[in-house]
Each structure stands twice: as structure tokens, then as C-alpha cells.
Amino acid sequence: MLNPRGQIRIENTFQLKSHSNIYAIGDVIDWDEQKQAAKAPKHAQIAAANILSQIDGGAPKKSYSGQPELIVITNGKVRCSSQSNPFHTFSQSLTFCRNTASRIWACFGVSH
């Protein structure tokens, strides 16, 4: 059930490899990606859809293939710096950065 680092081994549906009726998401899973809170909502979305599918008597239909690796550092309310995918255009990175900075500050009750 656990890898040598103590992480939970999962399928790409977020089901445990050893127990298909149990799901795990977030930093505890054995998935080759950076552990970031920003990835948890996508994990939850896929796991929830698969749990509902199982409750309805079906098989899990959604699978996870990972998310882009990104580090964002806010610089004020609407500016930030990021290390991201080198294939993004400047305008894509700028828009993403601004949206991300706004969401980060909103978590602390700060609006711009």
C-alpha cells in the first residue's frame, strides 16, 4: 500500500492500488509530481467523479495524467514571477501569473 517513502500507491483514478474502493489525493500520494496545494482541487475533482461513478454502480471514468509544474511568487496584489513551462507564450504566462496572484491574495482576504 505504501512506497518506501511512506506515500500511498494509487492508480491514475486516485484509487489505492491495493483497495479499489478507497481513494487518496494530495501530498500523501505516490505520484511523480511536485507536491503543491494548487494541485489538490484537480485531484479532488477527479476522485469525486470516480467515487460518484462507483456509488452509482459503475466503474471510475476519470483519470489523472498530472498537471504542469509551476512555482509562483507573488509581488504585490497583481504581479508575480513564475518558473513555468518554457512553451508558454509571454502573454499566457502573464495572464496565468496575474490570475494566480489574485487567487493567492484572495485566500488571505485581500482584493485588488
Residues of the chain with CATH 3.50.50.60: 1-65
State the Cα–Cα distance between residues 6 and 2, nearest whole angstrom.
5
For 86, what's the count of Cα atoms within 13 Å in the CB-facing half-sphere? 0
Whether the Cβ atoms of residue 74 and residue 101 lie closer than 8 Å to each other: yes
Model confidence, pTM: 0.66
Q: What tens-digit pLDDT sequence spans the chain (112 residues)?
A: 999 999 999 999 999 999 999 999 999 999 999 888 878 889 999 999 999 999 999 999 999 999 877 666 666 665 666 555 554 444 455 566 666 666 666 666 666 5
Domain 1-65 fold is FAD/NAD(P)-binding domain (3.50.50)
